[in-house]
């Protein structure tokens, strides 16, 4: 009788835990996660990375591109699964980066004294990849992988821009004056351009450093002499780029030791191991 009681107890525990787990899978909202200050939760699950042949047809036609080859590094479009992570809602600002400089006494980045870019609430630019990585580490965070960045920008439906599939010239700070800014703009200034998760400025304002080297996406067989561990992927377009380069699937690249007046960054806080493509 005693053994039967123990067996029944174990069976009930097994069923209960299994039921609880299935509930979490059916309704992930039963387990809520509180995001750190000024960060946004990107939930676990699949999403689409890259561009399809149909997307490339649209790009070539819309932007009068001379060659489809320019976009082959975005192929093939495919579904990837990521665990949940937190990402900064805004690009790291000049004001926040200055606090980092004061506490670490490191050399200030290029352009910090330039009034075109140094308003406290504008994105910090002129930072190298290592500068960006060190800042994130200082806060107990890290740079996003390319896959994490892209999911945070476009959600899980493969949209071309954070807001959808159509060009939105006034939804991002890109090249030209239709958005009212000649150079960088205050972060979060384009709420209509936010991503499905509420992340701001994922298109325009400043390109953003990622963890990953510029290598082919899984399944990509195109020839590209630039694929290597020499260039880092940057994402999102900037104030000096057109809407073509502000697409979420666009794969910009930059030498990690270089800095530019249109490249900044944001950080992530992962709940699991880094989900890098390379």
DSSP characters over 167-206: --TTSSB-SSSTTS-SS---TT--GGG--TT----SSBSS
Residue 67: is the preceding peptide bond cis (ω within 30°)? no
Question: Can you tell me the distance from the alpha carbon of 49 to that of 147, in angstroms, rounded to the nearest whole number?
Answer: 7
* Token pair 């047809």 in the structure block, residue: 57
110 CB-contact burial (10 Å; exposed 0-12 / middle 13-18 / buried 19+): middle
pLDDT band for position 108 (cuts 50, 70, 90): very high
Global pTM reads: 0.85
Tell me, what's the pLDDT at 7?
A: 42
C-alpha angle 70/264/49, rounded to 5°?
45
Please state the rounded mean pLDDT for residues 51-80. 96
Q: Has residue 31 got a pLDDT over 90?
A: no
In sign, the C-alpha dihedral spanning 31, 270, 189, 245 is negative
Q: Has residue 250 got a pLDDT over 90?
A: yes
Strand order in the sheet with 263-264: 252-254, 232-235, 207-213, 263-264
What are 177-222's pLDDT values in tens digits? 777 888 999 999 999 999 999 999 999 999 999 999 999 999 999 9
Identify the residue with better confidence: 226 or 19: 226
**Greatest C-alpha distance within the chain:** 82
Q: Has residue 17 got a pLDDT over 50?
A: no
Please measure the distance between the N-terminal and C-terminal CA atoms of the chain and give it in whole angstroms.
57
Q: What integer best gives the mean pLDDT of the chain?
A: 88
Tell me, what's the pLDDT at 272?
A: 55
Q: Cβ contacts of residue 178 below 8 Å, gap of 6+?
A: 169, 170
The DSSP symbol for 144 reads P
Please state the rounded mean pLDDT for residues 41-64. 96
β-pairing verdict for 207-213 and 263-264: parallel
Please state the rounded mean pLDDT for residues 145-163. 97
Tell me, what's the pLDDT at 11?
A: 34
> Is 36-270 a domain of CATH 3.40.605.10?
no
Percent of the chain with pLDDT over 70: 85
The DSSP symbol for 233 reads E
pLDDT band for position 19 (cuts 50, 70, 90): very low
276 CB-contact burial (10 Å; exposed 0-12 / middle 13-18 / buried 19+): middle
Q: Cβ contacts of residue 131 below 8 Å, gap of 6+?
A: 109, 259
């Amino acid at each position: 009788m005693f053994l039967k009681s123990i067996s029944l107890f174990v069976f009930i525990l097994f069923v209960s835990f299994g039921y609880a787990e299935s509930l979490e899978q059916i309704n992930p909202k039963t387990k809520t996660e509180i995001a750190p200050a000024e960060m946004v939760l990107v939930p676990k699950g699949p999403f689409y990375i890259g561009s399809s042949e149909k997307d490339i047809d649209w790009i070539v036609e819309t932007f009068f591109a001379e060659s489809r080859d320019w976009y082959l590094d975005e192929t093939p479009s495919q579904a990837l699964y990521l665990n949940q992570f937190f990402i900064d809602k805004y690009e790291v600002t000049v004001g926040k980066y200055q606090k980092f400089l004061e506490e670490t006494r490191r050399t200030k980045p290029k352009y910090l004294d330039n009034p075109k870019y140094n308003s406290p609430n504008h994105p910090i630019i002129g930072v190298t990849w290592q500068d960006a990585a060190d800042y994130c580490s200082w806060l107990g965070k890290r740079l996003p992988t390319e896959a994490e960045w892209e999911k945070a920008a476009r959600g899980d439906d493969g949209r071309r821009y954070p807001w959808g599939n159509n060009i939105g010239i006034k939804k991002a700070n890109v090249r030209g004056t239709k958005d009212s800014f000649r150079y960088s703009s205050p972060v979060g200034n384009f709420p209509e351009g936010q991503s499905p998760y509420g992340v701001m400025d994922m298109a325009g304002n400043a390109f953003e450093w990622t963890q990953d080297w510029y290598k082919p996406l899984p399944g990509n067989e195109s020839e590209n002499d630039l694929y290597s561990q020499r260039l880092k992927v940057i994402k999102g377009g900037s104030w000096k780029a057109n809407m073509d380069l502000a697409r979420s699937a666009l794969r910009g690249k930059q030498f990690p030791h270089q800095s530019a007046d249109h490249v900044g960054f944001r950080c992530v806080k992962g709940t699991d191991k880094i989900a890098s493509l390379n």
